[in-house]
């Protein structure tokens, strides 16, 4: 069956002359494939008209909000990862230093052990103070989202790591003739 020119006409039936319109109607009555095409086109056209009539505002605003939330959570995740990387990096730097010092202590016990007891006491007192501080902060920060808790926890870890490193250095500098050998 010859479909031309009906397969073109069916896209714009309102522009046809009366005899063309008649011929198209006759062809559509006989031809299944052109009728299917015409019906699909009418449905698509109706859908386009309906979506044009719909106000774009609600969908647009919703998408915009979603994108904003996504960007926010991405940024928060990046910050969390940065804090985590910093914490791990700090631990990686501190661990060998502390291990070396401990090894030196084990190699030269006696006097060094006494000096270490002093330092341990200072450290314990400071840790007690830190624990009290953390307890107060935790009490005042109830009702936050999980992500914030994770970020805060990692931040606290990072700060404690810094503090521990600082205390460690101070402790080793305060006492003269310490473990150094």
Residue 5, preceding bond cis, omega within 30 degrees? yes
Residue of 158, 159, 138 whose CA lies nearest to 149: 138
Pattern 2-21, binding to Zn ion, x per CB under 5 A?
Answer: -x------------------
Q: Which is nearer to Zn ion, 31 or 123 (CB)?
A: 31
Stretch of residues binding Zn ion (CB under 5 A), selected from 24-32, 107-115, 121-129, 143-151:
24-32
Is 31 a binding residue for Zn ion by CB under 5 A? The answer is: yes
In whole angstroms, what is the distance from residue 94 CA to residue 155 CA?
17
> Smallest distance, Å, CB 25 to Zn ion?
12
In whole angstroms, what is the distance from residue 84 CA to residue 78 CA?
10
Q: Which is nearer to Zn ion, 31 or 127 (CB)?
A: 31
> Smallest distance, Å, CB 8 to Zn ion?
11
**Cα-to-chain-centroid distance, residue 14:** 54
Q: Which is nearer to Zn ion, 7 or 168 (CB)?
A: 7
Is 34 a binding residue for Zn ion by CB under 5 A? The answer is: yes
**172, two tokens:** 């080793």
Q: Which is nearer to Zn ion, 40 or 69 (CB)?
A: 40
Residue of 180, 181, 177, 169 whose CA lies nearest to 119: 169
Is 62 a binding residue for Zn ion by CB under 5 A? The answer is: no
> Smallest distance, Å, CB 11 to Zn ion?
13
Number of helices followed by number of strands (H, E) in the chain? 6, 0
Binding residues for Zn ion, rule: CB under 5 A, are: 3, 31, 34
């Amino acid at each position: 069956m010859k479909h031309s020119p009906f397969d073109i006409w069916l896209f714009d039936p309102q522009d046809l002359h009366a005899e063309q319109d008649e011929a198209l109607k006759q062809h559509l009555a006989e031809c299944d494939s052109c009728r299917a095409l015409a019906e699909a086109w009418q449905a698509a056209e109706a859908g386009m008209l309906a979506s044009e009539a719909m106000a774009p505002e609600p969908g647009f605003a919703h998408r915009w909000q979603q994108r904003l939330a996504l960007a926010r959570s991405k940024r928060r995740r990046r910050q969390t990862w940065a804090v985590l990387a910093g914490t791990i990096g700090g631990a990686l730097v501190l661990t060998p230093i502390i291990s070396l010092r401990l090894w030196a202590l084990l190699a030269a016990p006696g006097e060094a052990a006494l000096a270490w007891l002093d330092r341990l006491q200072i450290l314990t007192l400071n840790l007690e103070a830190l624990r009290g501080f953390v307890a107060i902060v935790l009490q005042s920060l109830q009702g936050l989202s999980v992500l914030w808790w994770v970020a805060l926890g990692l931040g606290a870890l990072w700060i404690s790591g810094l503090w521990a490193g600082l205390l460690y250095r101070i402790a080793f500098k305060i006492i003269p003739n310490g473990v150094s050998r």
